Structure 1
Amino acid sequence: MQPESTNGTSGGGLAVPMAWLCAEYTADEMLRTGALVEADSLEFRAGRQTLALTIHLCDGGEPLSGGSTAARIDHWLTVTSYGYPWPRWVREQLGVRAERVRHGGKDPDLALAADAWRRLCDTELLATDLGGLEPWHPSRPPGASPDEADRVWLPAWELGLPLGHLAVHLW
């Protein structure tokens, strides 16, 4: 059964999450263009969801139009860069949006963004342990590189974040 007033002619039209859909499309295009991983892989999905969430939250929930493209891409690169407190930033941004909705604002994209964040946290992927890449890491002998056989379970966002950063950089 169709909801009432879906044609937008009355005040109660169906709210379409265009900002989220645009962010997801942009993230998909960036990852496909970069050809960093197979498009049907779990890694690709993690990268797409992480990057879509980043794009959506950076752009304030507005559809991806307007603003300097270079400045927006620089912002995406900053937020996805190594050492940036990305998970805390995501939680804060989602909290700000939820608070706005509680006070009567509208955000048809909030449910999709929050669901993507939940899936990125709840889904774990087996990947090479990149946590010890820092040359100053106490477990790494000087000059040693990571052993790709050392695999650990990571939340999907931990794999998707550097993948998304590289895709933005290559775009």
Structure 2
Amino acid sequence: MLDRGQESTDDGGDELTVPMAWFYAEYIAEELLRTGDLMPPTSFEFRAGRDALALTVFLADTEGELSGIRVVTQLETWLSLTAYDQPWHTWVRERLAEAVAHPAVGGRSAPDVELARAAWRWLQETELLAPDLNAVPGGAAAGAGEDEGPKVWTPAWQLGLPLGHLAIHLF
């Protein structure tokens, strides 16, 4: 079993570094979402929530303690970072830029950072069709169900972030 101090597969010159910090952040995010039972695990919405929450968990770990943290002690931090009135997307961009410039800070490996960057790219570039929460009340046909109301294409992170926040609350 690999620990945070042993992330390579051998002691030779061509070491394979396993991105354990990112994998652990994804695991925590997925478990929080599964516990909340908010979306089917096979849906794009679930992936958006998992990636947004994994980025929050991964980037909030500035001391390299991710593999040793107790989830319960970090819940308040993650709740405050994912709250509706917080500039989460700006925080992610800034933290990722720092991680790219200094990948070893916080015990992260370059592969950890690359997987986090890939998740962020997907969250930004992927749009999901979602109910238009800014639609004028009463603008939809009376009695229209959730699937029949106005919809808008929304960046995946804008759907995933509130799902992640709600999953933390439900934990």
In structure 2, list runs of 5 or more residues that go unmatched: 1-7, 139-144
Closer, same or farther: CA 19–108 of 1 in aligned 2, 3 Å = same
The equivalent residue for 1:30 is: 32
Q: How far did residue 120 of structure 1 move? A: 0.4
Match of 2:75 among 50, 73, 76: 73
Counterpart residue type for residue 121 of structure 1: Q
Q: How far did residue 66 of structure 1 move? A: 3.3
Q: How far did residue 68 of structure 1 move? A: 5.5
Task: Tell me the TM-score normalized by structure 1.
Answer: 0.80
1:61–1:109 CA contact under 8 A, matched in 2? no
Residue 123 in structure 1 maps to residue 148 in structure 2: no
Closer, same or farther: CA 15–131 of 1 in aligned 2, 3 Å = farther
Q: How far did residue 11 of structure 1 move? A: 5.2
Tell me the distance in 1 between the aligned counterparts of 2:55 and 2:129. Answer: 22
Work out the number of aligned pairs and report it. 154
In structure 1, list runs of 5 or more residues that go unmatched: 1-5, 133-138, 142-146
Q: How far did residue 126 of structure 1 move? A: 0.6
Tell me the distance in 1 between the aligned counterparts of 2:116 and 2:80. Answer: 20
Q: State the secondary structure of the residue aligned to 1:109.
A: helix
Closer, same or farther: CA 68–45 of 1 in aligned 2, 3 Å = closer
The equivalent residue for 2:49 is: 47
Counterpart residue type for residue 86 of structure 1: W
Q: Deviations over 1:86-105 (max 9, x none)?
A: 000000000111111499x9
Q: State the secondary structure of the residue aligned to 1:126.
A: strand
Closer, same or farther: CA 70–102 of 1 in aligned 2, 3 Å = closer
Root mean square deviation, CA, Å = 2.5
The equivalent residue for 1:94 is: 96
How much identity, in percent, do the aligned residues show?
Answer: 49
The equivalent residue for 1:110 is: 113
Closer, same or farther: CA 26–70 of 1 in aligned 2, 3 Å = closer
1:98–1:110 CA contact under 8 A, matched in 2? yes
Tell me the distance in 2 between the aligned counterparts of 1:73 and 1:102. Answer: 25
2:9–2:17 CA contact under 8 A, matched in 1? no
Q: Deviations over 1:10-60 (max 9, x none)?
A: 354211100000011111111111101111111111111111111111113
